[in-house]
């Protein structure tokens, strides 16, 4: 009986051990075609990498971990080309991307971002000294480093090395092939598991979001290869950015409620623990330092404040009309010009097109209600002058009316029209500025304290009175004048 039980345990052990060994089995290195002459380096021990067959040589991206995997990599490349391996780019300093450097021929030139090389000499996460300080490994360190951008020519073909900022580590490089529109990112994106941020190497999740955003805005890449995921498209990168922002905002909110790290971790999946801890520590550090962490609000018209201008014009029948405009400003000094941007749907848009002129009327705070009305009602439906009791005066210089009661008026002839999208920009050359004497200062120029203008806040859509006097620009600038 005991013998049978022993045999059963032995058999179970063999089955479990065999199953575990199969799971741990390392498949041999193979190449996966991405584009003509461009491959992913798959399998083996270590992260995914890349190989680019140039006109006269080969460029490798990342180095695997073991001698066997490097030898397999070289053998696979020799199956598709007889050109020599001349360059190896390390995307960052993690061991599964860079340990294999030492098994490549010393004729290979190793390249990385300058921060990546520095990180190679840092102690490991457990405090152990770096192997890369050993003299025998010196030939396999990155001999060439770059700061922002570097081009590598392989005959007529080109690889671009870009640095967009911190993220996974402080030295993450992007290898971009413009002809193929393919970028290799190293570990700057994880698709099948939570993003890994190496805080001990200076990595930062908030900078990671900025870095990827900058990359998308800079490169025209259509396919992105990384160390631990299948290639993805731009939409996947953008979705990853949004996911990171959502996690960050959730953790911020929980920190604001006084939750500790363990309580916050319980709000997430278990495999998100490392990422949650990294973000939590970043937020707590910013609070300790008194930092006000910037939050991305997206591509929106949230420039604060904007001016409040009332635009005067005549329609084709000669009826005077006004509308409030905030998308406006001075755009040239000589000749003196202003610009206003209007939607085609506005009544004033057609009027300016018809008459090639407009006026800019600056209201003081006592006209805030009328100004708000001018921006909400349409001249197609109402006579705004009759509704408000204000007086239109025909300009003697341009074919447009101005408001008699408003203290400051600018008369403009249409100089140029620029179609931008939803809005059309009208550039008007200033023909004259008219001001009530009561608002003029000592130098015969409008005095802001006497004019009492107000400004508009996009987003909240509020009017605000202008604030306190800070000083003359020339005097304030002296603080930073060189001694």
294 has a pLDDT exceeding 70: no
Please say whether the dihedral angle defined by the alpha carbons of residues 464, 467, 472 and 476, taken in this order, is positive or negative.
negative
pTM across the whole model:
0.59
Comparing CA positions, the residue from 63, 69, 81, 20 lying closest to residue 43 is 69
Q: What is the pLDDT of residue 24?
A: 58
Share of the chain above pLDDT 90, in %: 82
Is residue 166 located within the same domain as residue 310? no
Is residue 335 located within the same domain as residue 444? yes
Cα of 94 vs its chain's centroid, Å:
25
Is residue 228 located within the same domain as residue 319? no
Domain-located, residue 162: yes
C-alpha span between 42 and 226 (Å, rounded): 11
The whole-number average pLDDT for the span 137-154 is: 96
N-to-C CA span, the chain: 97
Is residue 229 located within the same domain as residue 312? no
21 has a pLDDT exceeding 50: no
Strands (E), 365-407: 392-394, 401-403
Is residue 325 located within the same domain as residue 448? yes
Is residue 201 located within the same domain as residue 322? no
Q: Read off the CATH number of the domain in which 102 is found.
A: 3.60.15.10
Is residue 230 located within the same domain as residue 318? no
Comparing CA positions, the residue from 462, 432, 470, 438 lying closest to residue 452 is 438
Print the domain residue range for 401: 306-465
Q: What is the pLDDT of residue 125?
A: 75
SS3 of 227, please? coil
Cα of 379 vs its chain's centroid, Å:
41
Are the C-beta atoms of residues 438 and 391 closer than 8 Å to each other? no
Is residue 319 located within the same domain as residue 193? no
CB-facing half-sphere around the CA of 302: CA atoms within 13 A: 7
Domain-located, residue 289: no
Domain-located, residue 271: no
Domain boundary among the residues 184, 214, 234 is at 234
413-472 pLDDT, tens per residue? 999 999 999 999 999 999 999 999 999 998 889 999 999 999 999 988 899 998 888 888
Q: What is the pLDDT of residue 8?
A: 54
Are the C-beta atoms of residues 124 and 130 closer than 8 Å to each other? yes
Domain-located, residue 448: yes
Domain-located, residue 385: yes
Domain-located, residue 107: yes
SS3 of 348, please? helix
Q: 157-162 and 174-177: which strand pairing?
A: antiparallel
Residues 6 or more apart in contact with residue 244 via CB below 8 angstroms: 195, 205, 208, 209
Q: What is the pLDDT of residue 295?
A: 64
Q: Read off the CATH number of the domain in which 370 is found.
A: 2.30.110.10
235-256 pLDDT, tens per residue? 999 999 999 999 999 999 999 8
13 has a pLDDT exceeding 70: no
The whole-number average pLDDT for the span 95-116 is: 96
The whole-number average pLDDT for the span 185-189 is: 96
C-alpha span between 354 and 348 (Å, rounded): 10
Are the C-beta atoms of residues 379 and 315 closer than 8 Å to each other? yes
Q: What is the pLDDT of residue 154?
A: 97
Q: How confident is the model at residue 171 (pLDDT cuts 50, 70, 90)?
A: very high
Domain-located, residue 239: no
Is residue 315 located within the same domain as residue 220? no
Is residue 210 located within the same domain as residue 317? no
Share of the chain above pLDDT 70, in %: 93
350-386 pLDDT, tens per residue? 999 999 999 999 999 999 999 999 999 999 999 999 9
Domain-located, residue 296: no
DSSP state letters, 300-340 = ----S-EE-EEEEEE-TT--EEEEEE-SEEEEEETTEEEEE
Q: How confident is the model at residue 199 (pLDDT cuts 50, 70, 90)?
A: very high
Please say whether the dihedral angle defined by the alpha carbons of residues 355, 347, 414 and 463, taken in this order, is positive or negative.
positive
Is residue 51 located within the same domain as residue 166? yes
93 has a pLDDT exceeding 70: yes
| Total domains, the chain | 2
Q: How confident is the model at residue 9 (pLDDT cuts 50, 70, 90)?
A: low
Other CB atoms within a 10 A radius of the CB of residue 109 amount to 16
Is residue 27 located within the same domain as residue 163? yes
């Amino acid at each position: 009986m005991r013998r049978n039980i022993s045999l059963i345990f032995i058999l179970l052990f063999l089955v479990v051990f065999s199953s575990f060994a199969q799971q741990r089995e390392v498949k041999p290195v193979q190449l996966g075609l991405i584009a003509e002459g461009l491959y992913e380096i798959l399998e083996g021990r270590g992260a995914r990498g890349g190989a680019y067959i140039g006109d006269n040589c080969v460029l490798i991206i990342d180095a695997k971990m073991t001698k066997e995997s490097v030898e397999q990599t070289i053998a696979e490349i020799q199956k598709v080309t007889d050109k020599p391996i001349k360059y190896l780019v390390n995307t960052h300093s993690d061991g599964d991307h860079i340990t294999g450097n030492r098994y490549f021929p010393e004729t290979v030139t190793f390249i990385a971002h300058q921060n990546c090389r520095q990180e190679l000499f840092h102690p490991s996460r457990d405090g152990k000294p770096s192997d890369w300080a050993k003299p025998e490994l010196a030939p396999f360190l990155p001999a060439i480093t770059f700061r922002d951008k570097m081009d590598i020519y392989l005959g007529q073909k080109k690889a671009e090395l870009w640095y967009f900022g911190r993220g996974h580590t402080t030295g993450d490089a992007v290898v971009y092939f413009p002809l193929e529109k393919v970028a290799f990112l190293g570990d700057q994106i994880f698709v099948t598991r939570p993003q890994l941020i190496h805080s001990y190497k200076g990595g930062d999740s908030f900078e990671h979001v900025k870095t990827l955003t900058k990359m998308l805005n800079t490169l025209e890449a259509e396919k992105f290869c990384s160390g631990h995921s299948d290639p993805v498209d731009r939409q996947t990168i953008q979705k990853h950015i949004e996911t990171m922002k959502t996690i960050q905002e959730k953790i911020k909110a929980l920190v604001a409620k006084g939750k500790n790290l363990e309580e916050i971790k319980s709000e997430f999946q278990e495999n998100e623990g490392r990422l949650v801890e990294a973000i939590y520590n970043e937020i707590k550090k910013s609070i300790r330092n008194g930092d006000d962490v910037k939050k991305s609000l997206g591509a929106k018209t949230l420039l604060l404040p904007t001016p409040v201008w009332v635009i005067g014009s005549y329609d084709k029948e000669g009826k005077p009309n006004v509308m409030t405009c905030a998308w406006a400003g001075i755009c040239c000094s000589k000749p003196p010009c202003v610009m206003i941007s209007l939607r085609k749907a506005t009544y004033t848009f057609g009027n300016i097109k018809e008459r090639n002129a407009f006026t800019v009327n600056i209201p003081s705070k006592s006209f805030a209600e009328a100004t708000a009305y001018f921006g909400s009602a349409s001249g197609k439906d109402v006579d705004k002058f009759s509704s408000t009791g204000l007086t239109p005066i025909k300009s003697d210089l341009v074919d447009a009316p101005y408001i008699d009661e408003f203290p400051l008026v600018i008369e403009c002839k249409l100089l140029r029209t620029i179609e931008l999208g939803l809005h059309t920009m009208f550039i008007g050359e200033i023909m004259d500025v008219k001001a009530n004497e009561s608002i003029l200062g000592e130098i015969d120029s409008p005095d802001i304290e006497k004019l009492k203008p107000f400004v508009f806040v996009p987003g909240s859509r509020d009017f605000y009175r202008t604030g306190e006097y800070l000083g003359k620009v020339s005097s304030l600038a002296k603080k930073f004048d060189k001694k």
